[in-house]
Amino acid sequence: MRHDDVWRAIDTLAAENGLSPSGLARKAGLDPTSFNISKRRTGDGRFRWPSTESLAKILSATGAKLEDFTALVMGARVMPEKAARGRTKIPLIGMAQAGAEGFFDDGGYPAGAGWEDVELPQTNDPNAYALSISGDSMEPVYRAGDAIVVSPAAPIRAGDRVVTRTRDGAVMAKLLTRRTGSRTELTSLNPAYPTLHFTNEDIVWMHRIIWASQ
């Protein structure tokens, strides 16, 4: 059982119920900041695990069974189809705007004004959002003006294309080439750009790209 997988399972359970992680905590009678990204590591970078009490409360609040949560932890399932029913509009902003303050909450979920609703393929993640690509770092797969759909709930593994926000406010679309307990390596699809190396403390959030316009 991996630290990231447990927290991803909590994020997914929240999304299945149409909630952000803070909304799930509130529904379970917990402090709304209990599941914030900043609470998932200690100040010196060590892993912080959710308590068994908090897990019991969110299972009770959502009606989920322990085996359902275990399946999420193990990556055996993501969103049920019912979570996507009737959802055809997805919030969109430009990649260049995404690094500004006010567009995402602490968990990397769309927040605030400035988002445009666009018609894009349905996704099972009710917290999915879209970004408009700028620049050429991900060419030839993603070109300037292409729209990518990003899912905060989708499991992430090495080799996935992701959108990442770093502590200095940069938001970027990259390929996750390597992630260990302390380091993350991101590369561009365009070989003209260098490989980027971050400590995990420098990564605020990372979400998987699940669809792109061509």
Of the candidates 177, 182, 139, 172, the one whose C-alpha atom is nearest the C-alpha of residue 157 is 177
Q: What is the pLDDT of residues 20-30, one digit of tens each?
A: 888 899 999 99
- With tokens 């999915």, the residue in question is 128
pTM: 0.61
Tokens at 42, concatenated: 């200690």
Tokens at 1, concatenated: 């059982």
Domain ranges across the chain:
3-80, 89-212
Q: What is the pLDDT of residues 48-101, one digit of tens each?
A: 899 999 999 999 999 988 888 887 777 544 444 444 444 467 889 888 888 888
The one-letter amino acid at 6: V
Contact 126/83 with Cβ under 8 angstroms? yes
SS3 98: helix
Mean pLDDT of 187-207: 93
Q: Which CATH number fits domain 3-80: 1.10.260.40, 3.40.190.10, 1.10.287.90, 3.40.640.10?
A: 1.10.260.40
The share of the chain scoring above pLDDT 90, in percent, equals 34
- Same CATH fold assignment for domains 3-80 and 89-212: no
